[in-house]
Amino acid sequence: MLLDDLKSRLSNSVNSTIKNPGKYSLASILVVIYGNEPIVVMTEKPKHMKFHAGEISFPGGKLDSNDSDLLETALRETSEEIGLSISKEQVIGQLEPVITLNSGFLILPFISIVDKIPALSANAEVEKIFHIPLESFLKTEARDPDPSHNLIQEMYTFEYENQIVWGASARILKQIQDCLKS
C-alpha cells in the first residue's frame, strides 16, 4: 500500500458543515496517515476524561463557538492534542459522519495524507500517541461481540498492541478499509 494509492482512493470533496444534526452535538476528527509504510496516528484518552475515557481515538473534538466549521475544529483539536499543524490544503477528503453510542456526538471525519510528520507531543487530553502501521492494523477488523453496541449502527473492533479500538473510531477505520477494497 503506497501513499499515492491511498490518496487516490480516499480523496474526495470536503464539505465541512453538517446541517440539521438533530439531537447530536457536532464534533470532528482528523485521520492523519503518513510515511512510506503507511502509518496512521491515533491517541489514547486519559482515564479521567468525562467522555471516552481510556479509549483509542483520532485527534479531534467538539465544535467550538469560535470555529468557522468542522474542518477548523479538526485542525485546531489536532494541533492542541498532539502538536501537529495540518493546513486545510493538506486535507484530501472526508468520510461519512458517525455517531457515538453514549456521548451523543455526530462526528465528521476528515483525512490528511502527508509524506512525513514532526515529532508529536501530547497535551492533557491525550494519555498516549500511537503510530500504527495501517495495513496490518486494518487486517485485525472483527465484528464487535457486544450486542448492546449494535443499537445505532453496525459495530466493529480493531486491535493494536492488545488494545481494542471500537465505537466511532472503529467505524471510521471500517470506512477506510472499505474504500481501500473498492
pLDDT given at position 177: 95
**Residue 157, amino acid:** T
> What is the model's pTM?
0.92
Average pLDDT, the chain: 90
Residue 43: per-residue pLDDT: 97
Confidence category of residue 66, pLDDT binned at 50, 70, 90: very high
> Please, are residues 108 and 16 in contact by the beta-carbon 8 Å criterion?
yes
> What is the share, in percent, of the chain residues with pLDDT greater than 90?
71
143-153 pLDDT, tens digit each: 766 665 555 56
Q: What domains sit in the chain, N to C, each tagged with a CATH number?
A: 3-14+22-133 (3.90.79.10)
In a 10 Å sphere around its CB, with 0-12 CB exposed, 13-18 middle and 19+ buried, how is residue 130 labelled?
middle
List pLDDT tens digits, range 109-127. 999 999 999 999 999 999 9
Please state, in angstroms and as integers, the Cα–Cα distance from residue 94 to each residue in 102, 107, 147, 162, following that order: 23, 11, 28, 28
Whole-angstrom distance, CA of residue 54 vs CA of residue 43 = 10
The pLDDT assigned to 181 comes to 86
**Average pLDDT for 51-61:** 84
| C-alpha to C-alpha distance for 30 and 115, rounded to whole angstroms | 16
Is pLDDT above 70 for 60?
yes
